[in-house]
Amino acid sequence: MSKRRVIPGFGLSLGFTLCYLSLLILIPLAALFLKAAGLGWQEWWRLLGSARVLAAARLTFGASACAAALSAILGLPVTWVLVRYRFPGRRLMDAMIDLPFALPTAVAGITLTTIYAPNGWVGAWLLKLGIKGAYSPVGVFIALTFIGFPFVVRTLQPVLEDFAKDTEEAAATLGAGRWLTVRRVVFPMMVPALITGFTLAFARALGEYGSVIFISGNLPMKTEILPLLIVSQLEQFNVPAAAVIASAMLVVSFMLLLSINLLQRWLDWQKS
């Protein structure tokens, strides 16, 4: 007698899942690495060690990490306000959080460029402070923060909504002040979700292209990001070089995301 499974059609579902993942993820990634493998290791090191690729990598990973960190720092108080307080315009503010999800990246890039350009509303004010918004690494940072911020808020929101207020009230009855309650009760509960939101924002920023190419200025060695460098290699019909850069970017991104996930698992284990 065959063992009765909880989920009917497990074999069919598993086969469909593997087929779906293979067609959309595994096979394209395998083709990418096979294309890159056509070049020898010396060519790999020559391409990846070039000054232009290294400059683009520093800007891409550095700006993505900084943008994700800022999104995590700002996302926590924004989520707290949306969940814990009721005020006029709250629903509108909550809907505006999802605007980067719905807005085409090219439209976002043009809009941010218009605002942060030297003659823009905010850009002119920043220029007086000696900060160049658009057409600089700062512009790349602004665009990546814009597209990554919703990931942090939407990750924290359900966790904070499920958090019982009785825990905070119990801490208050035991003599804990507001700052101590936040630091010892609320914040530790939010850390795993905060790391998840940071990871999602970081991963999203690494592959961003549409919004960055308008506001960055695309200056080689200064404001050029890795996705743009890959596209420029493809436009020159240098497919192997583009495959090498994409493969290296994929490996480094995977290692960084794996490290962050391992850190999150370790924090969960420490809590338990």
Listed residue (244, 242, 240, 222) closest to 230, CA to CA: 242
Q: What pTM was computed for the model?
A: 0.84
* Mean predicted lDDT score pLDDT of the chain: 85
Tokens linked to 28: 């394209």
Confidence of residue 2 (pLDDT cuts 50, 70, 90): low
Give the residue-averaged pLDDT of 218-244.
89
Distance in angstroms (rounded) separating the CA atoms of residues 185 and 178 = 10
pLDDT tens digits for range 125-182: 999 888 888 899 999 999 999 999 999 999 999 888 887 666 766 766 766 767 777 7
CA-to-CA distance for 181 and 177, rounded, in angstroms? 6
| DSSP secondary structure string for all residues of 123-186 | HHHHHHTT---SSSHHHHHHHHHHHHHHHHHHHHHHHHHHS-HHHHHHHHHTT--HHHHIIIII
What span, in angstroms and rounded, lies between the C-alpha atoms of 99 and 103?
6
Residue 10 has pLDDT above 70, yes or no: no
The Cα 112–Cα 215 span in angstroms is: 7
Identify the weakest region by mean pLDDT among 5-9, 25-29, 83-87: 5-9
Q: Report how far residue 56's alpha carbon sits from residue 65's, in angstroms, rounded to the nearest whole number.
A: 14
Structural domains of the chain in order of their starting residue, each with its CATH number:
40-271 (1.10.3720.10)
- C-alpha distances (whole Å) from 70 to each of 74, 163, 186, 212, 225 are 6, 24, 20, 17, 19
Please give the C-alpha separations between residue 234 and each of 106, 201, 220, 244, in angstroms, as whole numbers: 20, 27, 16, 12
